[in-house]
Amino acid sequence: MKVKLIDIRIKDLKKEEEKLTVARSRIRGLIAGLRLEKAELEHGVKIGSIVSYHGKDHKVISIDASWRDKPWLVGHPKKKDGSFGTAKRNLYGYWELKPQDNLGKLS
């Protein structure tokens, strides 16, 4: 009899664990979204921004805003023909945002 009660309790706890896992995942998503918003407000960077890293332009494809200082970025490097390639480069926190005019074009 006691074994059945333990099995029922385990089943109940597993259900509770699943609910908490879903809630934790949702909260992590909200935190990540707020960190990206903060990175844009503080540093002006967002997905699709053009940044300079060691004198070369890159198009931002990923932002890790969990760092205390400048967010770490991943970007596609600009090719000789002016388009952006598909290679991924870690830009870390050593990037500078390229100035853009009101229409979003590079100046």
Predicted confidence at residue 66, as pLDDT, reads 82
pTM of the model: 0.74
Question: Counting Cβ atoms within 10 Å, is residue 8 exposed (0-12), middle (13-18) or buried (19+)?
Answer: exposed
pLDDT number for residue 105: 56
As a whole number of angstroms, the distance between CA 53 and CA 49 comes to 13
Angle at 37 (CA atoms; ends 35, 42), nearest 5 degrees = 90
Residue 102 pLDDT greater than 50, yes or no: no
Give the containing element (helix H, strand E) for 34: helix 2-43
Residue with structure tokens 């390639």? 85
* Residue 7, pLDDT score: 95
Of 10-14, 16-20, 37-41, minimum mean pLDDT range: 37-41
| Helices (H) then strands (E): counts for the chain | 1, 5
| pLDDT per residue as tens digits for the range 38-96 | 999 999 999 999 999 999 999 999 999 887 788 999 999 999 999 999 999 999 989 99
pLDDT of 106 reads: 57
